[in-house]
């Protein structure tokens, strides 16, 4: 199992690495087919946010399944424990679901970014940097490639990446959204072949948003009529 620990605005101490390795048996006990664990530790410098200054994000890749969890606390060790609690709960749900369902697609969450081993460093970076937002939008990308640009002298950064994903049903998209712990999930609806988003509304209520052009909708209406 490959364990990658990355720091954002913080240095990763050896003690933290040792603690992470000692706790990974919680992951492998539930998901023995885990291939890679990516942990990102972020530091918030605002003193008003001291209680949540450290954020730990954990992403587990086990076969075709991607499971993610994150938590924030005053220090990285408690944030790690809270994130692991969330992660193991989601891994158990995945394991239980596998017993009753067989999936034929390969989900790739839109926000997942796991660089090759030779490109990883303790401080996250991106070598694909263009000089303008226009160049970022206009550039051709291959599967898995990304480009990142800063807008002028502002702190705004635009990042663009191309993912290849198999179409899936709305039920499958909701399941993947729950696994990665986000409030939305971008996918291609296999019933309509349209780019779509499922999202949390409130409680157990969800929404589905689909995108298409007026021209395509008109063609479909004419074909049915």
Q: 112, exposed or middle or buried, with CB in 10 Å at 0-12, 13-18, 19+?
A: middle
Let me know if residue 202 belongs to a domain. yes
Task: Identify the domain containing residue 197 by its residue range.
Answer: 145-223
- How many residues belong to the chain? 225
Query: What are 94's two structure tokens?
Result: 């995945």
Residue 156 lies in a domain: yes
Instruction: Tell me the C-alpha distance between 171 and 108, whole Å.
Output: 15
d(CA 88, CA 100): 19
What pLDDT sits at residue 174?
86
**Residue 19 confidence (pLDDT):** 94
72: phi > 0 → left, psi -120 to 50 → alpha, else beta; which? beta
Give the domain CATH number at 37.
Answer: 3.30.160.100
- The reply to whether 172 and 86 lie within a common domain is no
Pairing of strands 2-8, 34-43: parallel
Q: Which DSSP string corresponds to 161-206?
A: E------B-HHHHHHHHHHHT-SEEEEEETTTTEEEEEEEEETTEE
Q: What is the pLDDT of residue 36?
A: 92
Total domain count, the chain? 2
Other CB atoms closer than 10 Å to residue 221's CB: what's the count?
9
> In this predicted structure, what is the pLDDT of residue 127?
39
pLDDT for res 217: 82
| Final residue before a domain boundary, out of 47, 77, 101 | 101
Angle in degrees, 0-180, between the axes of helices 170-180 and 76-100, rounded to the nearest 10: 150
- Which residue from 148, 56, 156, 161 is spatially nearest to 109, judged by alpha carbons? 161
How does pLDDT run across 170-209, given as a tens digit for each residue? 988 888 887 777 788 899 999 888 999 999 887 778 889 9
State pTM to two decimals: 0.52
Task: Give the pLDDT of residue 122.
Answer: 38
pLDDT tens series, the chain, 225 aa: 899 999 988 999 999 999 999 999 999 988 888 999 999 999 988 878 888 889 999 999 887 788 889 999 999 999 999 999 989 888 888 777 766 554 444 444 444 444 443 333 333 344 344 455 565 555 666 766 767 777 766 777 777 777 778 899 998 888 888 777 778 889 999 988 899 999 988 777 888 999 888 888 888 888 877
pLDDT value of position 98? 65
Among residues 73, 101, 129, the one where a domain terminates is 101
Q: What angle do CA 144, 146, 147 make, to 5 degrees?
A: 170
pLDDT computed for residue 129 by the predictor? 43
CATH number of 214's domain:
3.30.505.50
């Amino acid at each position: 199992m490959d364990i990658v620990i990355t720091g954002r605005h913080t240095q990763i101490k050896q003690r933290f690495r040792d603690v992470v390795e000692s706790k990974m048996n919680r992951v492998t006990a539930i998901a023995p087919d885990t291939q890679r664990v990516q942990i990102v530790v972020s530091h918030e410098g605002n003193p008003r946010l001291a209680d949540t200054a450290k954020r730990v994000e954990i992403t587990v890749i086990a076969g075709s399944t991607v499971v993610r969890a994150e938590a924030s606390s005053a220090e990285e060790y408690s944030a790690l424990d809270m994130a692991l609690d969330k992660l193991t709960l989601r891994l158990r749900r995945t394991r239980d679901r596998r017993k009753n369902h067989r999936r034929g697609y390969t989900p790739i969450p839109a926000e997942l970014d796991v660089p090759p081993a030779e490109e990883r460093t303790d401080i996250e970076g991106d070598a694909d940097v263009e000089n303008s937002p226009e160049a970022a939008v206009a550039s051709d990308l291959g599967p898995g490639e990304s480009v990142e640009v800063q807008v002028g002298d502002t702190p705004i950064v635009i990042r663009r990446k191309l993912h290849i994903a198999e179409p899936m049903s709305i039920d499958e998209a909701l399941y993947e959204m729950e696994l990665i712990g986000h409030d939305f999930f971008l996918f291609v609806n296999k019933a309509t072949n349209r780019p779509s988003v499922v999202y949390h509304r409130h409680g157990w209520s969800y929404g589905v948003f689909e995108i298409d052009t007026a021209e395509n909708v008109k063609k479909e209406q004419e074909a049915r009529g």
